[in-house]
Each structure stands twice: as C-alpha cells, then as structure tokens.
Amino acid sequence: MLTSLQKAKAFNQQYRLVGRHSAVKICLWTKQCIRSGKVCYKQEFYGIHTGNCLEMTPAILCNHRCLHCWRDTSLFAPKWEGGVDDPKEIIRGCIDARRELMIGFGGSEKVKADKQKLAALNTFLAPDHAAISLTGEPCLYPRLPELIDALFDDFHFRTVFLVTNGTVPEMLKRIGTESKHFPTNTYLSLQAYNFDSHKKLNHPVVLDTWNKIIESLKYLSTVKDKTRTIVRITVINGHNMSHAREFLPYVKLMKPHFIEVKGYGFLGMSRRRLKEENVPSWEEVQGFAEEIAHVSGYKITLQHEPSDIVQLREK
C-alpha cells in the first residue's frame, strides 16, 4: 500500500515494514529499559514488561490527521487498498524485525561496553506484551480479532493493549464475538469535547467519524467484564485544556475503568502543526485531572511524571 518513497521515509524513521500494511518499531521506553532499567507507565500502572514490548500496527493508515499526532501522517493512506495479510504472518514478521532492531541496538557502543546491559538485552529479545498502537488506526485491519487471538494463543503473549481512535465501532463489536480473547486493555483516545473541536483537533478525512466515536464509547461500556477499558485524553494548551468539564458526558457514556490524562508532548511530526506553548506543564496536567475527578466522581490513583500521565479510577 505504501509507495517506495513512503517506504524509504518509514525506514529512515526506524520503522520496519512487515508485509503490505504492518509495521514495528522499538519504543523509546524499551531502549531506556535496556540502558538504565527505567520502565514506562504501563509497567507501573498495569504490570506489563516494558523491555518485552512489541510496539506494532497492522494498519499504516488512518481516517484522522490529528494535530497532536507525532507520527508522519503523510505515510497514511486514506482508505484500505490491496490485499489483507495473514495475522500470524504479521506477528511473526513483527517479532523477527523487532529482534533485528534490538540486536542492532545491542551493537551500540554504550550497550556493547556494559555486560549487564547486554544481558538485559538478551532477556528482552522475546516480546510478551503487544502494544497495538504504533501508528495508524488498528481497527481498520479487517482481521484484527484473529490477530488478537493469535497473539495470545499462538505466540503466548502475556498482555495485549489495543489503542483505537474509536472510529470503527463495527470492529470493536467483532472482538470477542469473532475472537476468543479481548485485549487486556482497550484504550479509546479522545481529544475532542464536541463536534467542532473534533473537526479542529482530529481533522477527519472521512465523514461521520464523530458519530462513530460516540457509538464506540457507548459500546465499550458494555464489555467492562471482558477487557480493562480506558479513555485517554491528551490535553493540549490552547485547544482542549480549559474544557475538562465538557469531557464528562463522554466519560458517562463509556464509564471506563480508568481515565488517563496525558499532556501533549512536542514530538515528531506534531512539531509542524503545533507549537511548544501548546505543551501543558505537569501542574496543568494534574489540574485538568483534578477537575475531571471533581466532576466525574473518579479518583486520582497513579501518576507518572516522566510520561506526563495521571490515572483516575472509577470509585
């Protein structure tokens, strides 16, 4: 689905393409874990293994062009074109490509010079956590339910996290119906607090994605006994920062187990669309979370300043 120019760009950005529409990359936190033993908020909040994370996507395409997206959205196709790769082939390809990238990382002078770091690298070569979130909208991959089952049953992953923008409720409804397993965590990313802010912040490239997001929020309230549900709100100064209370109707619709409030980071390609002043301070992120807690009845449970994230839990 990608042109040769797009493929070259992706390679330079440290993605490794797998098959026709999937990709893998080593997360910065995984590298940090090897270098210094530091772990990401997902290990601290939910017990995943940072060093054994397979950050991947089965769909390098998206129906949004969000302002805050750190990915290179010029790599996204607007709609699915071409064939659909086999889920097990995708997983195998991602694991192999990750392993090569990790071994390459082991060749770096800092890691090579330190026996402990080399030993850590060996422990982390086999992934046991899948973050289906690297880039694009994974629910656009037509065989996602099979991919989730294969991760658990054929590749023995311990945890699988799915992150969606909520625009494909039809796929969310197929998970657990056409698959044996649900993801361990199902995240819905929400930046918009009404239809106008949706158009401004998410730049949908197809019509009707706002209604689809509402449908997904409602649907996810019905599967809370099957998967840990989380709404993640990325707060951006000058855009949604002063609208905490306006997120309440969506929290009420989804009734997620957790809310994660994350500060926008001035990273990657988002630097072309936003400015440094759009980055909230840690205190502002905490303030937004406190306001949500005040109006929603959720309580602040955990915080991870290095990731700029505050977690709130249903009481």
List contacts with ligand SF4 (CB under 6 A).
62, 64-66, 69, 71, 73, 135-137, 165
By C-beta, is 164 or 296 nearer to ligand SF4?
164
The amino acid at 275: K
- N-terminal to C-terminal alpha carbon distance within the chain: 45
Q: DSSP string of 147-204? A: HHHHHHHTS--SEEEEEE-S--HHHHHHTTTTSS---SEEEEEE--SSHHHHHHHH--
By C-beta, is 79 or 226 nearer to ligand SF4?
79
Q: CA–CA separation, 75 vs 65, rounded Å?
A: 11
Q: CA–CA separation, 219 vs 224, rounded Å?
A: 10
- Is residue 299 packed enough to be buried (19+ CB in 10 Å), middle (13-18) or exposed (0-12)? exposed
By C-beta, is 34 or 131 nearer to ligand SF4?
131
Tokens of 32: 């940090």
* Contact in structure between 285 and 261 (CB atoms under 8 Å): yes
Q: Nearest approach, Cβ of 229 to ligand SF4 (angstroms)?
A: 18
SS (H, E, C) 190-237: ECCCCHHHHHHHHCCCCCCHHHHHHHHHHHHCCCCCCCEEEEEEEECC
By C-beta, is 62 or 102 nearer to ligand SF4?
62
Whats the size of the chain, residue-wise?
315
Q: Nearest approach, Cβ of 307 to ligand SF4 (angstroms)?
A: 16
Q: Nearest approach, Cβ of 268 to ligand SF4 (angstroms)?
A: 10
Geometric angle at alpha carbon 303, from 298 and 304, rounded to 5° = 150
By C-beta, is 188 or 259 nearer to ligand SF4?
188
- CA dihedral (27, 28, 29, 31) positive or negative: positive
Q: Nearest approach, Cβ of 189 to ligand SF4 (angstroms)?
A: 6
By C-beta, is 129 or 262 nearer to ligand SF4?
262
Q: Nearest approach, Cβ of 290 to ligand SF4 (angstroms)?
A: 25
Q: Nearest approach, Cβ of 246 to ligand SF4 (angstroms)?
A: 20
By C-beta, is 137 or 308 nearer to ligand SF4?
137
Q: Nearest approach, Cβ of 135 to ligand SF4 (angstroms)?
A: 6
* Contact in structure between 56 and 131 (CB atoms under 8 Å): yes
